[in-house]
Amino acid sequence: MVNINIVDRVCFIEMQNAKKLNCLSDELCSEIRAGLRKAFDEECCAVVLKAQTRNGVWSAGHDIHELPLDGQDPLAFNVPMEKLIHDVQDIPIPVIAYVEGTVWGGACDLCLSCDMIVASTNATFAITPAKIGIPYNASGIMHFMCQLGPNKAREMFFTAQPLTALEALNVGMVNHVAEIDALPALLEEKMLNPLRRNSIIAISAIKSQFRLLTKYSVSLPPEELERLHGWRSKVYSGRDYKEGISSFLEKRSPNFISKSKDLFPPEEQH
């Protein structure tokens, strides 16, 4: 599912499950995580996460077939896609998302969790839980808020509409955009060659500080955390969530009927 190739201290991890649109299945996430560990063990100075595309799709996001229907949190801390996102942020080596094509759902969060993104002009980025009735998770929402600002992040989550590469560049989500043929040279010149020249131990210390500063920049009192979890569990154990998944798999439009007030029953309003 994944090809790992180390060239001149850079670890290229290529998703090769194009026939399944590189859906972030548990297996694919585990193989990418193994690639990250190999990059660290082999003392690489950078990781490049890329994909073989089909129908122009870089990754179609979490594998919808693997979303739990038994009331479990689909985006719990310990699900493989979330573990991959944590590993990308925790590995003290710059991880660059190299995007040619369309990115959907959790794969968009994965790209945002990388340290930098270079994209081809035909790339697009969409976060789509609202289309499937999924109450994304706080850490994922934070990624978008930090990178895009609250307004653009809300627009992406509420509309589930793709952002073009140029729009993503304009809001600072993407570092560089180029025509697909020019992207390899841009990656080498703007990123990989400087990273090979610079001090990796200094970069590791700087990346680890970025991680701590963003991770602890928000503190919610425990009761607020519990309230947040209550909202999420009501949604992912509710009707719209199941309807979102069934409608996708049955290739029909979803019929969402849950109401906002279902989340805030009168007895709980204060």
DSSP secondary structure letters along the chain? -EEEEEETTEEEEEE--GGGTT-B-HHHHHHHHHHHHHHHHTT-SEEEEEE--BTTEEE--B-GGGS--SS--TT-TTSHHHHHHHHHHHSSS-EEEEE-SEEETHHHHHHHHSSEEEEETT-EEE--HHHHT----HHHHHHHHHHH-HHHHHHHHHH-PPEEHHHHHHTTS-SEEE-GGGHHHHIIIIIIHHHHHS-HHHHHHHHHHHHHHHHTS----HHHHHHHHHHHHHHHTSHHHHHHHHHHHTTS-------GGGTS-GGG--
The residue among 39 and 79 lying less far from ligand YXS, judged by its C-beta, is 79
35, 61, 62, 105: which is the annotated catalytic residue? 62
63 binds ligand YXS (CB under 6 A): yes
132 binds ligand YXS (CB under 6 A): yes
Q: Which of 58, 98, 104, 236 binds ligand YXS (CB under 6 A)?
A: 104
The residue among 82 and 115 lying less far from ligand YXS, judged by its C-beta, is 82
- Considering the complex, what minimum distance in angstroms separates the CB of residue 131 from ligand YXS? 6
143 labelled catalytic: no
100 binds ligand YXS (CB under 6 A): no
The residue among 56 and 150 lying less far from ligand YXS, judged by its C-beta, is 56
Q: Are 216 and 224 in contact (CB under 8 A)?
A: no
136, 140, 236, 244: which is the annotated catalytic residue? 136
With CB atoms as reference, the residue minimizing the distance to ligand YXS is 105
62 binds ligand YXS (CB under 6 A): yes
- Considering the complex, what minimum distance in angstroms separates the CB of residue 171 from ligand YXS? 19
The residue among 64 and 146 lying less far from ligand YXS, judged by its C-beta, is 64
Taking CB under 6 A as the binding criterion, the range among 55-63, 169-177, 232-240, 258-266 that sits at the site for ligand YXS is 55-63
136 labelled catalytic: yes
In the complex, the residues that contact ligand YXS under the rule CB under 6 A are: 21, 23, 55, 57, 60-65, 74, 104-106, 127-129, 131-132, 134, 136
Please identify every residue annotated as catalytic. Answer: 62, 106, 136
